Structure 1
Amino acid sequence: MAFSKLHIVLFALLALTFFREYIGAEFNNVKFSDVPINPNVEFHYILAFAIDYTTSSSSSPTNGKFNVFWDTDNLSPSQVSSIKNQHSNVKVALSLGGDSVNGGSCYFSPSSVDSWVSNAVSSLTNIIQEYHLDGIDIDYEHFHADPETFAECIGKLITTLKNNGVISFASIAPYDDDDIQSHYLALWKSYGHIIDYVNFQFYAYDQGTTVSQFMNYFQTQSSNYGGGRILASFISDGSGGLAPQNGFFTACSRLRNQGKLGGIFVWSADDSKALGFRYEKQSQALLAAHP
């Protein structure tokens, strides 16, 4: 019994130290080495995005055959290896889907559960191994499939990749929208036990969100994704949610003191580059500090 209590305490402490940042979607030459890395947090870069669409200008769905859509000139396999070799606390993941592809909405469009999972496992294993990656993130935001189909496809994908030793962690990135939540909550209900982090997009709430509103939103989503490690989040360009300069770190400190803060993630390094990554530094300093 003492061991289990100790394990819970250690898990709680570790849960405070996760910092994650999306990178590479906007092709503005941001590099891994541009982003400040605090050695006292576990730092995850999330490459955005791998998408099961063709790479031609008139992209179309490929039923789970993923291609790389991030800035490979600056975020190549050798650069992944380099940043991980330089920093023992760094892991790198890739995110699936995203909002758009070549100017149009990016849809989750499986032909069937089995065919999509088979194609996804094969294509993603190749990409993950080529790029020396550690995990995946699920960020589909438009669907040509019902919630149950989405849940089975993604759940079986994560299960297989973990069982095959291809990835060590997985996250999801929902936000507060009825269609989005119906799909991700179905996934959570059936497969929440294999999902390690919930990158909830709190910046999708209205611009000008207050600290008290943010705290309420966080509580609501913690209930929706019960038992999950929920990360607080902000968007670098300040276009939505609770901005860093308007109380985001106050809210995070309160959550941490309550033992509820699973970490912080940012969208995205591409936009933060122009700001000198000041809020990344502040986020990591807060996470690294003792409560």
Structure 2
Amino acid sequence: MNSSKFLLVSLALQTLMMTSSSTKTGNSNLFREYIGAMFKNVRFTDVPINPDVDFHFILAFAIDYTTGSLPLATNGAFNIFWDERNLSPSDVSLIKAKHPNVRVGLSIGGDSVKGLNANFTPSSVSSWVGNAVSSLTKIIKEYDLDGIDIDYEHFSTNDTKIFADCIGGLIKKLKGNGVIKFASIAPFNDDEVQRNYLALWRRYGHVIDYVNFQFYAYDKSTTVAQFLKYFEEQKHNYRGGKVLTSFNSDNSRGLIPDNGFFKACGVLKSKGELYGIFVWCADDSKEAGFPYEKQSQELLTSSA
């Protein structure tokens, strides 16, 4: 074989190898779990942590509402609404010291606060961002947190640009100030929710690291085939993003673990599209002994 033909064959083989390997480069060992919202006395140390995963606890929630008997919106001035008694700054420090693969973030917004919708109610983009940066920076530094998650589910304005500019501005400021290392969003399949989060993604997707899509918000009758279809739809919606799979540990909604969730994840892993798994939530998993958390982490770290 002459040198020119040999070079062409070598290049073709390299291209084939690169194409083959690139189909499986998207898989990740990222595991994330929300914790503290249900006040069921769950602690970080209760949750099994596989040393080979990239483990993120997400404290739920910090909400820009007052903490009085009648909660009122506070235009970006955030307060803590998670179980501080069991999930304190010293608890964060201890779990991170014990497990070097653990990071801890906080989620803002949530569905409700003291029985009322936790509405996104900015007075203006500039005032909301200024208040949010100030109040969240204080909490993040006090707890030595690593990131932020966005989980607003109710909106007091139909102007999606306001949500996009508030949240995008917040993330850019916190990252630019070196306050956080990662940011995620947690949308689900609701028209109003998707309008706002897709507007945010189009303008600020480049500063968002993960999409914690709430696949458990779909109906409990969801099949493996439907789940995979939903995943493809959201991967298309949040094009270029790391869309994580998810389940609800109380088995009340979505494709539950015993009905095929892990089978669906296995299919995605074989395609190089298992970007991570997240769980809602540790509070509900505690009584059962976290069996699905263990199974999730085993799947993420397996070679199959």
What TM-score bracket applies, with the shorter chain setting the length? Answer: over 0.9
Paired residue for 1:84, among 72, 90, 96? 96
* Alignment pair present for 1:43 and 2:40: no
* Alignment pair present for 1:222 and 2:235: yes
Note if contact 2:27-2:269 (Cα within 8 Å) is conserved in structure 1.
no
* Alignment pair present for 1:139 and 2:151: yes
| TM-score, reference length from structure 1 | 0.96
Note if contact 1:21-1:266 (Cα within 8 Å) is conserved in structure 2.
yes
Q: Show CA shifts across 1:80-122 (max 9, x none).
A: 0000000010000000000000111100000000000000000
Where does 1:202-281 land on structure 2 (aligned, <5 Å)? 202-281=215-294
Note if contact 2:218-2:254 (Cα within 8 Å) is conserved in structure 1.
yes
Largest Rg, 1 or 2: 2
Q: Residue 208 of structure 1: CA displacement?
A: 1.8
Amino acid at match of 2:285: S
Note if contact 1:208-1:243 (Cα within 8 Å) is conserved in structure 2.
no
Amino acid at match of 1:154: I
Q: Residues of 1 paired with 2:69 and 2:289: CA distance?
A: 33
* Alignment pair present for 1:34 and 2:78: no
**RMSD of aligned C-alpha atoms?**
1.6
Residue 86 of structure 2 aligns to a residue whose secondary structure is coil
Q: Residues of 1 paired with 2:271 and 2:149: CA distance?
A: 27
* Alignment pair present for 1:198 and 2:214: no
Unaligned runs of 5+ in 2: 1-13
Q: Residues of 2 paired with 1:15 and 1:101: CA distance?
A: 36
* Alignment pair present for 1:179 and 2:192: yes
Unaligned runs of 5+ in 1: none
Q: Residues of 2 paired with 1:194 and 1:110: CA distance?
A: 21
Q: Show CA shifts across 1:42-75 (max 9, x none).
A: 0000000000000001000000000000000000
Q: Residue 154 of structure 1: CA displacement?
A: 0.1
Q: Residues of 2 paired with 1:199 and 1:120: CA distance?
A: 21
Q: Residue 13 of structure 1: CA displacement?
A: 5.0
2:106 aligned partner: 94
Equivalent pairs: percent with the same residue? 64
Residue 251 of structure 2 aligns to a residue whose secondary structure is coil
Number of residues paired by the alignment? 286
Paired residue for 2:35, among 17, 23, 27? 23
Q: Residues of 1 paired with 2:93 and 2:25: CA distance?
A: 28
Would the alpha carbon gap of residues 117 and 16 (structure 1) be closer, same or farther in structure 2, given more than 3 Å must change?
Answer: same
Q: Residues of 2 paired with 1:15 and 1:127: CA distance?
A: 32
Where does 1:130-169 land on structure 2 (aligned, <5 Å)? 130-145=142-157, 146-169=159-182
Residue 182 of structure 1 aligns to a residue whose secondary structure is helix
